[in-house]
A and B are shown apart, each in its own frame.
Chain A
Amino acid sequence: MRAAARFVGVRLAGAVVVLWAVATLIFFAIRLVPGDPAQAILGGPGSDASKASLDLVRREYGLDKPLVVQYAVQLGRLATGDLGTSYSLKQSVASVLAAQVPPTLELAALSLIVAWLLAAGLAWWSSRSGRVAGAVGNALEVIASAVPHFLLASILIVVFSTQLNLLPPVSTGTAAGLVLPVVTLAIPVAGFLGQVTRDSLLDASAAPFALSARARGESANGVFARHLLRHAALPGLALSGWAFGSLLSGAVVVESVFARPGLGRTLLAAVTVRDVPLVTGVALVSALAYVVVVVLGDVAERALDPRGRAA
């Protein structure tokens, strides 16, 4: 128990450091890129702001103060849990996030599940179907992990919406509208998870415990399900945090292509207009989700692998 408490405590401290680093990085990165946020707040194609409006905006948003002061103010606010007000949407960042987090979480979580199913399915098929199947599986995984979200989404839309007329090309709020975005996000992650899983699957199937299970007369499927998968899933689980991060970044593209609301699209729009509080808010929430998933992955790994628990 004490080991578990220490484990959680260390993780929590780590999470705070990560969040602080993210907030700092975002703040300065956004300011280093040329561009006047006041102009961005008021501007837009074909309009130029009056001096009075600009001055007002600078004062109102504290943009007239030195950068270090702005940073300190922002950090102080964040420390008290105040995410501030979005420059562009003119509403609190917390309320924007409250509306935009659920659709993205839904997308990312479903995609992670589908990715695991795809990866495990492919591994199972290729591991028991001989060398050619292994090569085909490997090739599929390499292609899947390398294909850009944008291209994949376009292909899926052309095939399943335009040609076959099976699924809506844009999200419609229904389950059918969720299929293409989820698959788009899941395929690259499945490819990556599949590659890692197969390597350890091959190691495991040559290991003594697998040989002995087979020698005891267990079926190939039984050995796969009861012994090999558990072993092979370990490196994949450790990578689930990474996978989740990749899903969040993929959401930027997928949410735009499939016209879904969510964090990714919010981030894209916020970056374009230099909306510092909103960008920071999205980044912090993403970082937090990432940390949580990594910890959950570690917990699952400890549950599956008894060797870690002793340490």
Chain B
Amino acid sequence: MRTRLLPLVALAAASALVLAGCTSGGGTATDDASATPVRGGTLTYATGDAEPTCLDPHVGGNYPQALVASQYLEELVSKDSHGDIIPWLATSWKQSDDGLSWTFTLKKGVKFTDGTPFDAAAVVANMNAVQDPKTLSSTGYLALGKVKKTVAVDTDTVRFELSQPDSDLLDSLTQPWLAIESPTALKRPMATNCVSPVGTGPFEVTKWVKQSAITMVRNPHYTSPVQDAAHTGEAYLSKIVWRFIPDSASRYAALQSGDVQVTDNAQPDELVAAAKGQTIKAIDAPRPGASDRIELNSSQAPFDDERVRQAFITGVDVNAGIKTLFFGTAKRSYSLLSSVEQDSYSDKALFTVNTAKAEKLLDAAGWSQKNSQGYRVKDGKQLTVRFPVSTNQSIPAERALFEQIQEQAKKLGFDVEISQLDLSSWYTALAKHQYELVDAPYTKVGPGVLDILYDSSGITPAPSGYFANNAQVDIPSLDATLRKAGQESDPSTRQDLYDQAQKTILEGYYVLPLYDQQNHFLYRTTVHGLRAFPSVSTPSLYDVWLSK
């Protein structure tokens, strides 16, 4: 199935909205950083992400859950804006010499909103819950892969015992999927905990009307702000209404009209319109982990031939498309990792467009003949590459970019078959290896995401058919490097190892990096103190206050 029209229509609609946005007038608002915060008020946040099926991010573990859980749950550690680990519910930590255990000292006097004290036993209960198959955890479960057990040493000390050293453990513990919940609340049936999770955060969940909104109110006994928060004590806002507005145009219209004050999943055209007006501002908070990239399936023809991979990657120019379709709101990436990752390694030179050389590479690889439609053929087979696209994980601008790549690749003689699929069908296409190109998001804090995405063990599908190594990179020396890096506790040695690994993958032309995973928030200028947590770039409403 080839689809060209839909993205164009979407793009036309988006452009129309840009024009509409430009002509609509804005009110006035002041954004004075030195102003005194105002207490009270209700903030309406409109999310364009999916509505979580469970508000406890231990269950499952996806981004929509992380977004909202960041308001009522807290983690043992966090990251500051430099990417360094900072204390949160844990005040200090120490790794044993053999790397096989980590001991955390916990903040004292913290209580969950149901009155249960936060202590070592609570941490143990949480880690046990995540590791219990009955909890149906996926992201959190994977992150604790090397954790054998968690032990309460005393009330304020907890020890993680590992099966092998894990240089990624602290990074993992900054993620909302491993946030700490009230052990009392966790004992309730899953269905109950899913609608009313209990944490130590600045807000607590009071109501969830499905398909509509989650209501959260201020936690009056709040004492545990993260180290880099702007203030201490209770949150300024008295209430948050967390609305689900899936349609991006309606979300933006609601922001313009003032019905909501903050939105996520902002589209490129809206960012441009917002930049021109006075009432709406934007925060660019790229997600950590892997960059948004197209991976080439190296396990089967034609991309099992490195020359064909190189021809594809250096034969298509994606920069022009990114510039026009994203209106300058997305910066081209030449790295496997998000630009917010400290260990991100990039090599722009590898991606210099050279169509003449690409043509030669294809000729050399035996794809020298062209058929009547202009596609290359070899042994009677057309140079066709399948590109399943998950419509649930891709915005219209990105799908239009894929169409442009399709057009450019056609000039080289590639027949790129794009099929737009819902999430479940997309997973199935991947599991059945019915793809040569794929763009799959992966959000995880730290360079350890490389172990998940490019270690050859990631080729073996899970029982579900899902496997993370979509490029099907299978290089024993790379596996060894990644495993060494995963156990290395010296930061600079670790970085060298990860650089080496990234170099190997990029130079093998397995991946065409596009840009950071797009994560933009829009907010009205009456909103002050909004920021995104540096860990997984979810919004923090703790320091937020509203001016009139």
- Chain A interface residues (CB < 8 Å from chain B): 33-57, 88-91, 96, 99-100, 153-154, 157-158, 161-163, 165, 168-170, 172, 255-262, 265-266, 269, 271-274
Contacts A89-B53, A96-B210, A161-B257; A170 near B245 (Cβ below 8 A): yes
CB atoms of A54 and B250 under 8 A apart: no
Residues of B contacting A40 with CB < 8 Å?
A: 423-424, 427
Residues of A contacting B256 with CB < 8 Å?
A: 161-162, 169
CB atoms of B137 and A272 under 8 A apart: no
A34's partner among B133, B210, B259, B424 (CB-CB below 8 A) is: B424
Residues of A contacting B390 with CB < 8 Å?
A: 45
In the complex, B166 has a CB within 8 A of chain A: no
Known: A52-B133, A170-B253, A170-B259. 4 other contacts (CB 8 A): A34-B425, A36-B427, A43-B138, A45-B423
CB atoms of B247 and A34 under 8 A apart: no
CB atoms of A172 and B138 under 8 A apart: no
CB atoms of B250 and A50 under 8 A apart: no
CB atoms of A265 and B211 under 8 A apart: yes
Contacts A34-B428, A272-B422; A162 near B253 (Cβ below 8 A): yes
Contacts A49-B138, A96-B210, A154-B13; A35 near B466 (Cβ below 8 A): no
Give A85's nearest chain B residue, CB to CB.
B191
- Distance (whole angstroms) from the CB of A69 to the closest CB of chain B: 21
CB atoms of B392 and A45 under 8 A apart: yes
Determine which residue in A49, A54, A158, A272 has the highest number of CB atoms from chain B within 10 A of its CB, and name it. A49
CA distance A36 to B432 in the complex (A): 12
B244's partner among A36, A38, A46, A259 (CB-CB below 8 A) is: A259
CB atoms of B259 and A51 under 8 A apart: no
Give A154's nearest chain B residue, CB to CB.
B249
Give B254's nearest chain A residue, CB to CB.
A170
Give A35's nearest chain B residue, CB to CB.
B424
CB atoms of B427 and A45 under 8 A apart: no
Contacts A46-B63, A50-B141; A162 near B425 (Cβ below 8 A): no
Would you list which residues of chain B between 251 and 291 have a CB under 8 Å from chain A?
Answer: 251, 253-254, 256-257, 259-260
In the complex, B142 has a CB within 8 A of chain A: yes
CB atoms of A261 and B424 under 8 A apart: no
Would you list which residues of chain B between 5 and 31 have a CB under 8 Å from chain A?
Answer: 13, 16-17, 20-21, 23-24
- Distance (whole angstroms) from the CB of A154 to the closest CB of chain B: 6
Contacts A53-B137, A261-B209; A269 near B393 (Cβ below 8 A): no
0/1 string, B73-117, CB within 8 A of A gives 1: 000000000000000000000000000000000000000000000
A169's partner among B254, B429, B444, B468 (CB-CB below 8 A) is: B254
B61's partner among A33, A47, A258, A271 (CB-CB below 8 A) is: A47
CB atoms of B425 and A259 under 8 A apart: no
Contacts A42-B138, A44-B60, A100-B211; A273 near B424 (Cβ below 8 A): yes
Residues of A contacting B249 with CB < 8 Å?
A: 154, 157, 257
A272's partner among B190, B243, B423 (CB-CB below 8 A) is: B423
CA distance A57 to B442 in the complex (A): 23
In the complex, B34 has a CB within 8 A of chain A: no
Determine which residue in A48, A90, A158, A172 has the highest number of CB atoms from chain B within 10 A of its CB, and name it. A48
CB atoms of A261 and B210 under 8 A apart: yes
In the complex, B462 has a CB within 8 A of chain A: yes
- Distance (whole angstroms) from the CB of B251 to the closest CB of chain A: 8
Residues of A contacting B328 with CB < 8 Å?
A: none
0/1 string, B207-231, CB within 8 A of A gives 1: 0011110000000000000000000
Give A34's nearest chain B residue, CB to CB.
B428
Residues of B contacting A41 with CB < 8 Å?
A: 136
- Distance (whole angstroms) from the CB of A294 to the closest CB of chain B: 27
Residues of A contacting B299 with CB < 8 Å?
A: none
CB atoms of A48 and B466 under 8 A apart: yes
Give A50's nearest chain B residue, CB to CB.
B141
CB atoms of B428 and A43 under 8 A apart: no
CB atoms of B62 and A54 under 8 A apart: no
Residues of B contacting A260 with CB < 8 Å?
A: 211-212
CB atoms of B60 and A259 under 8 A apart: no
Give B194's nearest chain A residue, CB to CB.
A90
CB atoms of B465 and A91 under 8 A apart: no
- Distance (whole angstroms) from the CB of B358 to the closest CB of chain A: 32
Give A37's nearest chain B residue, CB to CB.
B424
0/1 string, B347-363, CB within 8 A of A gives 1: 00000000000000000
A35's partner among B46, B428, B468 (CB-CB below 8 A) is: B428
Would you list which residues of chain B between 41 and 77 have a CB under 8 Å from chain A?
Answer: 46, 50-51, 53-54, 60-64
